[in-house]
A and B are shown apart, each in its own frame.
Chain A
């Protein structure tokens, strides 16, 4: 048993961190988040050149062919730097497309990985239920036409393609639609986290040709579940990176800030907040690495491991954020300080793919389902 990163993975972490320190200082993140795209073409090009748009995509599909643990390393560093833009949703699309055996999916995946096209996943419907099941999906393709709504879609406004689960002939299907197709309406709905722009997407009699229906039935459901597992790891790893930054920023601050003639970090009340942040971050790392490994190796526990990581990091990231702001005092509550960027992002990560309550219920259902 080896519960540590490999040397290559540590090098990957270092090089991503260096890149982010150079290209995404918080001043740059703040500039980017003021724009809807929250990303510039030059940087996206760099992402593609580095292979970060297809790190875990097989080499036949132009990816780097690395594993989910490597992907988690990348996501953690992106979280640490609060990297803005559509990387999450495009990685989600890549994870989903990779599961699907169709020529259209392969072409799309290739153009996504090389940075030509952006693909946003439009999953969540108005009921806000992350358990995507055909009988509950309101979006439907019938007679070659798609009608329905999706909310909280990342960067739909800049996407070339939209990838979405729909109901089709009573089963689930994954379909792809050009973002500028007839009947597609994309409306910006700003969320709590300005580093990733959210949109509401409506489809009204949008034409869907047969080759746009990438998978149906059990194949669609399996592909969806597999991609969901991967993205639970990614969002958990991002949350871990956010926590790491918040812990480091807080410890730095309380070591230098002086009150009552001494550093505030010398007060036990403050020390204990910091110790709690450390403990939460350490346990989150165990959960994230385990989930990444289990999903990568497709172990029997992969589903449980992914939900455990999502449930745990949702809580720990938020609570670390609460304590970080508290330890900073007034400055931590200002727009000027970067903490709120991380705090906002942590809240958004908490919702993504289901919050802690959602994942706990799912875990509980699975565990209680066994026969006695």
Chain B
């Protein structure tokens, strides 16, 4: 066991730290980071571009695709240094962490050349067209159709809960290409230009007030056949690659988010008083802060342990489900604790720009998006514990 960095890792961290010190924009809109704010997205695109120019985009991607060629450990260092430097979050949640790694596994050389560099420069923002109105947890029952017509597929159908679709340039889309095959065997993955004729998005207003995710409608959308990712009718396997990456990686973004929230909470506890003393001096508050901190540490350590296993060459299998179950519920407890501590004022839009109420509401989505907690538990029970559906 050695949780210290190797000299090489430490040197890499120091280089990154120095770069961040010179490049993190100041100030940047940390408060009230809603998902619908156009300025905010442009700001993040600019930041991503700056990371790319500095050589810090896609640190764990292979070098041949413009990445840093580093391992999962550097990925973790990167994340922590981003937090430490109070840098903006990465826009690459979907492109860099989900679509890119999937393209690297399944893409043709042409697809990799065409798409991967543009993810890192934030020229292309990606979304993933997965869920449908009648296919949520049972994703494989999806019915958006793609019919081959010459050199093209013609796509008709509807997706829903599609995050970033309203600003995305490209979509990784799961479609049904063989309606007669068993449901997992008739799905294909397509890369669809969101500017294609027949694509329309309608933002869905979330309970948090945001319109960060969308309904996406496909009406006779023509997709060049060369934009098929992976073999015909094997889109389910391609899609699973995305989901594995999603579960394993989204925790890193969440860690940054939670860390920032706790830091802000601690600051408020030092500033605000109740019953004639600072919140920070109230043992009840101290215990709650201790709990929040513990939750955050557990997220970090579980992630580190998974990273360590991955860098030892073990494939991320069910770890993703363990991590996702962990961080999603940890964040929900964190937001609950935060509002308990701060009290009535924390619900106000005038208090910290309404960030606490926003975080509180947004957190309900955590145990639903990317596979509900119930789906994660099914996966763990079946694949890790060997508890079958029948018997």
Listed in ascending order, the chain A residues whose CB lies under 8 Å from chain B are 1-6, 9, 69, 251, 254-255, 262-263, 265-266, 268, 270-272, 274-276, 278-279, 282-283, 285-287, 289-290, 292-294, 297, 304, 307-308, 311-312, 357, 359-365, 367-370, 372
**Closest chain B CB from A297 CB (angstroms):** 7
Q: Is the CB of B308 within 8 A of A1?
A: yes
* A276 & B377 in contact (Cβ 8 Å cutoff): yes
Can you identify 8 A-B contacts, CB atoms within 8 angstroms?
A3-B304, A271-B378, A271-B385, A274-B385, A311-B290, A311-B291, A363-B289, A369-B280
What is the number of residues of chain B that contact chain A, defined by CB distance less than 8 Å?
A: 55
The answer on a CB contact under 8 Å between B308 and A3 is: yes
Does B269 have its Cβ within 8 Å of any Cβ on chain A?
Answer: yes
Known: A263-B391, A278-B380, A312-B294. A1 touches B288 (CB 8 A): no
Known pairs A275-B325, A283-B298; list 18 more (Cβ under 8 Å). A1-B308, A4-B1, A5-B1, A251-B387, A265-B381, A265-B387, A266-B388, A275-B381, A286-B304, A287-B297, A290-B301, A290-B304, A312-B298, A363-B289, A363-B290, A364-B286, A367-B290, A367-B293
Q: Is the CB of B294 within 8 A of A368?
A: no
Bound-complex Cα distance A326 to B291 (A): 26
Chain A residues lying within 8 Å of B4, measured Cβ to Cβ, are 1, 297
Question: Quick one: CB contact mask for B72-87 with A, threshold 8 Å, 1 for yes?
Answer: 0100100000000000
Q: Say whether B377 contacts A1, CB under 8 Å.
A: no
Number of interchain pairs (Cβ within 8 Å)? 165
Known: A278-B385, A368-B286. A292 touches B378 (CB 8 A): no
Give the residue name and chain of the A residue nearest to B387 (CB). Answer: A265
- B180: Cβ under 8 A from any A Cβ: no
Task: For the complex formed, measure the closest distance between the CB of A282 and the CB atoms of chain B, giving whole angstroms.
Answer: 5
A69 touches B326 (CB 8 A): no
Chain A residues with CB under 8 Å of B225's CB are: none
A271 B381 Cβ-Cβ under 8 A: yes
CB of A283 within 8 A of CB of B1, answer no
Is B3 part of the binding interface, using a Cβ–Cβ cutoff of 8 Å?
A: yes
Within 8 A of A (CB), among B190-244: none
Give the CA-CA distance A365 to B288 in the complex, in Å.
Answer: 10
Is B275 on the interface with A (CB-CB < 8 A)?
no
Q: Which of B9, B293, B384, B387 contacts A255 (CB 8 A)?
A: B387
Beta-carbon contact of B297 and A361 below 8 Å: no
B364 to chain A, nearest CB (A): 19
What is the CA–CA distance of A289 and B381 in the complex, to the nearest angstrom?
Answer: 25
CA distance A362 to B380 in the complex (A): 34
